[in-house]
Amino acid sequence: MKAFTKHTGLVAPLDRSNVDTDMIIPKQFLKSIKRTGFGPNLFDELRYLDEGQPGKDNSQRPLNPDFILNQARYQGASVLLARANFGCGSSREHAPWALEDFGFRAIIAPSFADIFYNNCFKNGLLPLVLKEEEVDELFRAVESVEGYALTVDLENQTVSTPDGKVYHFEVDEFRRHCLLNGLDDIGVTLEDADAISAYEARRKQEAPWLFPAG
Amino acid sequence: MSGKTLYDKLWDAHLVKERADGSCLIYIDRHMLHEVTSPQAFEGLRLAGRKPWRIDANLATVDHNVPTTGRENGVEGIEDPISRTQVQTLDANCNEFGIVEYGMSDQRQGIVHVIGPEQGATLPGMTVVCGDSHTSTHGAFGALAHGIGTSEVEHVLATQCLVQQKSKNMLVQVDGELKPGITGKDVMLAIIGKIGTAGGTGYAIEYAGSAIRSLSMEARMTMCNMSIEAGARAGMVAVDDKTIDYVKDRPMAPKGEMWERAVESWRELKSDDDADFDKVVHLDAADIEPQVSWGTSPEMVTNVGDRVPDPANESDPIKREGMERALKYMGLEPNTPMTGIKLDRIFIGSCTNARIEDLREAASILKGQTIASSLKQAMVVPGSGMVKAQAEREGLDRIFLDAGFEWREPGCSMCLGMNPDQLGEGEHCASTSNRNFEGRQGFGGRTHLVSPAMAAAAAIHGHFVDISDYYDRAG
């Protein structure tokens, strides 16, 4: 997994709450058996005016000029500023895959849906929670200043604005450690293989019906 | 010291190790797989040269992509080549790793959250996970069940564990007697309407109270299924006689002396009387009316007798904008009576409402009736091959067909339209599924979430009607 330590990037504001993972990447693109290539269809139904399909040439499709990611000032954005309950709905990991593939490295919101939040960390994408009023301040700043960029520092758990304001965010220690070091968490878990085996041995005594194969 | 909640007990029983940083390894008893969220996980295993930790904990089926007609040609009959490849990929992966799979031509095939309980693959006290957010369904058995992403699918395959942080405890207490015609679906939509789609974020929800105890196992599954629509990854109901009776004699349930031992242990799967919850929500069952969603989020729901809400009455600007956007997408004017919305299609199916009781309920409304001529389509998609066969034994298929419904093969179907079953642009659908998100059931499609009984009655009239009047008349 790609590590995340510190990132400075252009911010794109997505000003709507309850953005669901169907909206982030619609169902027809979930038929892929790969982890990559979802970026061109990120927010497909918001971004284009027609219906997208796998294999369709996206460069020929009509763009929705009102959608932020189609606007010149947000080209190259790598930090997404979002509203409450971002990533709700389906557990599809294709959502963080699409965001990452598009070029986002961090998402800032007042709250995230649990499964989406967890999925992001597995893909080098940092979802971070700031207070509602801090997110409001950032929305106002991004909309008023063209080229507005933020620096996200995972080591120090801070978001810094161009005018020197610093916001602090919380992240649990294990996720932070894995993301900072780009660790494969399966490898980390397998270091505890003996503990897993010991648990199974004990559990087979307590609840043998859970182990019908013995 | 206060007692433990059901969630606390399930958590403690599956804790393999708490690490120094506070993260916990939780053991997974049952891992369900389907074709959409597993191919990249199997590929990850192969690339890392890893093997599944415990083959017999896994059970797979194909549900999201499968067509609901023309199944006689099996996998080869899937017209969309990308869907076909995904189904074939699961077949190949299960074959390679030795995982039991109910493939397209197996009668046990069906929606993953229908077949787990049906086969007794879901048992009380288990941890159950699947790369699908509606895995919360299995919590109805006093199990800890939740959806995971594909990286975690790979993690479970490789280690039989997940790295977790413990959630907080929420109790949703529903007491009193439900009115005739009010189902688990209405209760759950009412809960989501009350606490919102993020109301349960960070919590494991336990549903309790006399109204929940009165519900059947299948109605409890409907409720737990939609816990994710309330923001909670996991929802659960304590074990009682109904749980035990439902599990008994299922193909994969324990038998004989082992059964007796298991039941004794399962009887403990309830919250202690003095358990502390971080949040408690009360609903009075008698207040719950038939529910219909009007917007593009499951919290945008109201009583069938009410009107489409007016954003002008909402003081929060973000909520108001969300309502305005939803009404525009849905093509609805504020203050329109919910019964005045003209419907184009009816969908009875999905992991929320495609079990035998759901079909019986809908058929009881449709018996001797015909669907409105204004409808373009009405379809029933049973949750599994077993549900389909049972319904046919009971003659329910004839009732649906005589009424003008299509009787389809099992799968996820129009709940998310990964197969050809989709809404057209601008079409309104009364759907027994779980999500009314923009584009969910088809590009530009407009979903109204309802119970099977409400969907059946709406099919007869071409618009929503108050099912409680219907029951009063019938009763």
B311 touches chain A (CB under 8 A): no
Examine the domain organization and report whether B387 and B318 are in the same domain.
yes
Give the Cα separation of A87 and B461 in Å (integer). Answer: 36
Residue window 176-205, chain B: list those with CB within 8 Å of chain A.
197-198, 201-202
Q: Is the CB of residue B255 less than 8 Å away from at least one CB of chain A? A: no
Whether residue A176 is contained in a domain is answered as yes
Residues of B in contact with A119 (CB under 8 A): 149, 151-152
Q: Cα separations (Å) of B147 from A91, A100, A187, B258, B290?
A: 6, 21, 22, 29, 28
Reported as a pLDDT band with limits 50, 70 and 90, residue B471 is: confident
Are B266 and B408 contained in the same domain?
Answer: no
Q: How does the average pLDDT of chain B come out, rounded?
A: 97
**Which residues span the domain enclosing A75?**
6-183
Cα–Cα distance, A185 to A178 (Å, whole number): 7
**Looking at beta carbons, which residues of chain B come within 8 Å of A14?**
none
**Which residues partner with A160 through β-bridges?**
A151, A166
Q: Give the model's confidence band at A213: pLDDT under 50 very low, under 70 low, under 90 confident, else very high.
A: confident
Between CA B238 and CA B247 the distance in angstroms is 14
pLDDT per residue as tens digits for the range B48-74: 999 999 999 999 999 999 999 999 999
The alpha-carbon gap from B117 to the nearest alpha carbon of chain A, in Å, equals 15
Question: Do B142 and B195 share a structural domain?
Answer: yes
Q: Is the pLDDT of residue B415 over 90?
A: yes
**Stronger pLDDT, A184 or B141, i.e. the higher one:** B141
Q: What sections of A85-207 are H helices per DSSP?
A: 94-102, 114-121, 132-144, 173-181, 185-190, 193-206
Residue A13 lies in a domain: yes
With a cut of 60, say whether residue B121 has pLDDT above it: yes
Parallel, antiparallel, or unpaired: how do β-strands B234-236 and B345-348 relate?
A: unpaired
Q: Give me the phi and psi of B118, to 5 degrees please.
A: -60, -40
- List the Cα angle B274/B270/B133 in 5-degree steps: 120
pLDDT one-digit tens code per residue, B429-463: 999 999 999 999 999 999 999 999 999 999 999 99
Asked if the structure places residue A50 within a domain, the reply is yes
Strand partners, B110: B384
CATH classification at residue B45? 3.30.499.10
Of B29, B86, B198, the CB nearest to A88: B198
B213 and B72 assigned to the same domain: yes
Read off the pLDDT of residues A120-165 as tens digits, 9 standing for 90 and up.
Answer: 999 999 999 999 999 999 999 999 999 999 999 999 999 999 999 9
- Give the CATH number of the domain where residue A103 resides: 3.20.19.10
To the nearest whole Å, the CA of A155 is away from the closest chain B CA by 16
Residues B194 and B316 placed together within one structural domain of the fold: no
Are B440 and A22 in contact (CB < 8 Å)? Answer: yes
- Which residue, A94, A76, A85, is CA-closest to A24? A94
Q: B178 Cβ partners below 8 Å, 6+ apart?
A: B187, B211, B214, B285, B286, B288
Interchain pair A185, B155: CB under 8 A: yes
Q: Give me the number of domains chain A comprises.
A: 1
Mutate to test the interface with B, among A23, A41, A90, A99 (most CBs of B within 10 A): A90
The residue among B80, B224, B240, B196 whose CA lies nearest residue B138 is B224
Two tokens, residue B204: 């494991």
List CB contacts of B73: < 8 A, sequence separation 6 or more. Answer: none
Report the gap between the CA of A10 and the closest CA in chain B (Å).
24
pLDDT at B285 over 70: yes
Domains in chain B: how many in total? 2
> pLDDT-derived band of residue B473, with 50, 70 and 90 as boundaries?
low
C-alpha angle B257-B263-B268 in degrees, rounded to nearest 5: 145
Is the interface score ipTM higher than 0.85? Answer: yes
Same structural domain for residues B207 and B332?
no
Neighbours of B144 (CB within 10 A): 28
- Strands of the sheet with B168-175, listed across from one edge: B234-236, B203-208, B168-175, B279-284
pLDDT of residue B96: 97
Both structure tokens of B247: 């599990």
Q: Does B82 touch chain A (CB under 8 A)?
A: yes
Q: Which tens digit of pLDDT belongs to each residue from B202-251?
A: 999 999 999 999 999 999 999 999 999 999 999 999 999 999 999 999 99
- Cα separations (Å) of A164 from A131, A134, A151, B149? 18, 14, 10, 37
Return mean pLDDT, chain A.
97
- Pair (B115, B227) in one structural domain: yes
Average of per-residue pLDDT across B246-269:
98
- Residue B377 pLDDT > 90, yes or no? yes
User: Per-residue pLDDT averaged across A23-50, rounded?
Assistant: 97
- Residues in B closer than 8 angstroms to A27, CB to CB, are 416-418, 440
* CA B13 – CA B359 distance, rounded (Å): 36
End residue of a domain, out of B226, B258, B289? B289
Contact B82 A32 (CB under 8 A): yes
Q: Above 50 in pLDDT, residue B475?
A: no
Q: Report how far apart the first and last C-alpha atoms of chain A are (Å, whole number).
A: 36
Q: Which of B289, B315, B336 is the last residue of a domain?
A: B289
Instruction: Show the CA angle centred on residue B121, arms to residues B116 and B126, nearest 5°.
Output: 105
Q: Are residues B251 and B307 in the same domain?
A: no
Over range A176-184, report the average pLDDT: 94
Same domain, B151 and B252: yes
Chains A and B form CB pairs within 8 A to the count of 194
Instruction: Quote the domain boundaries for residue B336.
Output: 291-474
Q: Please report whether residue A32 resides in a domain.
A: yes
pLDDT at B474 over 60: no
**Among candidates A20, A31, A186 on the partner chain, residue whose Cβ is nearest the Cβ of B155:** A186
Q: Residues A165-179: what's their mean pLDDT?
A: 96
In this prediction, residues B385-396 reach a mean pLDDT of 98
List the one residue out of B473, B467, B441 whose CA is nearest residue B179: B467
Considering the domain architecture, whether residues B151 and B193 belong to the same structural domain is answered as yes
Q: What is the DSSP letter of B444?
A: T
Closest Cα to residue B325, out of B355, B283, B296?
A: B296
In a shared domain, residues B342 and B260? no
Nearest to B126 among A119, A122, A210 (CB): A210
Which of these three, B262, B289, B316, is where a domain ends?
A: B289
The stretch A13-20 carries a mean pLDDT of 97
Q: Distance between CA atoms of B205 and B198, rounded to whole angstroms? A: 12
Percent residues over pLDDT 70 in chain B: 99
- Shared domain for B318 and B200, answered yes or no, is no
pLDDT at position A214 over 90: no
Identify all chain A residues contacting B193, using CB atoms and an 8 Å cutoff: none
DSSP A62: P
